Amino acid sequence: MKNILIIGSTGQIGSELAMHLRSLYGNEHVVAGYITGAEPKGELLESGPSAIADVVNAQSIADAVKKYNIDTIYNLAALLSVVAESKPRLAWKIGIDGLWNILEIAHENKCAVFTPSSIGSFGVDTPHDMTPQDTVQRPRTIYGVSKVTTELLSDWFFHKYGVDTRSVRFPGIISYVTPPGGGTTDYAVDIYYYAVRGERFTCPIKAGTRMDMMYMPDALHAAQMLMEADPTRLKHRNGFNIAAMSFDPEMIYKAIKAHKPEFEMVYDVDPLKQSIAESWPDMMDDTCARQEWDWEHKFGLEDMTTDMLDKLTKKLL
Ligand code: SER
């Protein structure tokens, strides 16, 4: 990897991935792609190049790829699960029409492409406990439908044209930097903000509903590791199950309470979020990622909680 374009560099994952990759490959080698209205600011803007790279405007992607001699694209443009349900056509336009644009440009310019898939690519018919790498994927959310399509389309471009496409199925991602917007797993980020501000948290997900989650440093490491992986070892490409921790609202609440005994949580279950959460795995089996590219997570619930509370306290108070 020499020159990288991040599409969606001001979003939840993109903003941190851009800085992570700049620290590894050099600031000048990582271009922060953005859309009008979501321009990079602060450190992201000042530390390296940025360019308009709008997935629905293929020319803007082609221009950025040529101008910066890009060989690797991280495509992080997407609507999260809850917001996608209310804007399904936009979710498809960004997730699938946008991906098609990127894959064609990648083919013409010999770029490798990383496009995340998600726990959302599974559905109610999928085995929920230790969800296998290769299993039933019949999601009923438009987010999930577009993620399964992402996996298939990325595989098709690899088999048909040799485009080096790779992806992981991200769990819910937790971070103290850029908040997520409109996801089912967002509660596991929001809860830390409430705890640090000393406010009572109202949880939209029922006690006992487990989902896979991951701390941002592990998610960034996974994306970068997979793109560096030896292609001859990859039996799968799009997308690998990766797991780090699995918890329900009571477990994260208890982990926070161990640091903040006065913290309170009540429930007001959101029916849409709950039905989506129940259709997703309780915990994925990530053996293939561990075998094929040595995936390893670092953070569990306790370490993450200690770090989140510490970093958010510095940020908010
Ligand atoms: N975090 C995403 C969501 O909740 C799942 O990948 O929509």
Q: Mind listing the pLDDT tens digit for each residue in 120-130?
A: 999 999 999 99
Residues 162 and 208 occupy one common structural domain: no
- Ligand 1 neighbour 13 (Cβ under 6 A): no
Residue 294 placed within a domain: no
- What does the pLDDT read at residue 179? 87
Residues 145 and 265 occupy one common structural domain: no
Neighbours of 232 (CB within 10 A): 5
Rounded to an integer, what distance in angstroms lies between the CA atom of residue 27 and that of residue 21? 8
Two tokens, residue 233: 């070892």
| Cα(68) to centroid(ligand 1), Å | 31
pLDDT lower than 70: segments of the chain: 1
Q: How many domains does the chain have?
A: 2
- What does the pLDDT read at residue 118? 98
Rounded to an integer, what distance in angstroms lies between the CA atom of residue 224 and that of residue 130? 24
- What does the pLDDT read at residue 1? 60
| Residue 182 alpha carbon, nearest atom of ligand 1 | 7
Residues 36 and 145 occupy one common structural domain: yes
| Cα(235) to centroid(ligand 1), Å | 26
Whole-model pTM over 0.85: yes
Residue 279 placed within a domain: yes
- Ligand 1 neighbour 12 (Cβ under 6 A): no
C-beta of residue 30 within 8 angstroms of C-beta of residue 6: yes
Of 34, 68, 74, 143, the catalytic one is: 143
Residue 293 placed within a domain: no
We report the CATH number of the domain holding residue 25 as 3.40.50.720
Q: Is 187 a catalytic residue?
A: no
Residues 40 and 80 occupy one common structural domain: yes
Residue 265 placed within a domain: yes
Residues 104 and 191 occupy one common structural domain: no
Q: Which of the listed residues 143, 150, 175, 215 should we mutate to test ligand 1's pocket, taking the one with most ligand atoms within 8 A of CB? A: 143
> Which of 212, 221, 216 lies closest to 241, judged by CA?
212
- What does the pLDDT read at residue 96? 98
- What does the pLDDT read at residue 180? 83
Residue 292 placed within a domain: no
- Ligand 1 neighbour 185 (Cβ under 6 A): yes
Residue 289 placed within a domain: no
Expressed as residue numbers, the domain containing 305 is 173-213+245-283+299-316
Residues 222 and 274 occupy one common structural domain: no
- What does the pLDDT read at residue 259? 98
Residue 291 placed within a domain: no
Two tokens, residue 104: 């064609």
C-beta of residue 292 within 8 angstroms of C-beta of residue 241: no
| Residue 184 alpha carbon, nearest atom of ligand 1 | 4
Residues 194 and 205 occupy one common structural domain: yes
C-beta of residue 249 within 8 angstroms of C-beta of residue 203: yes
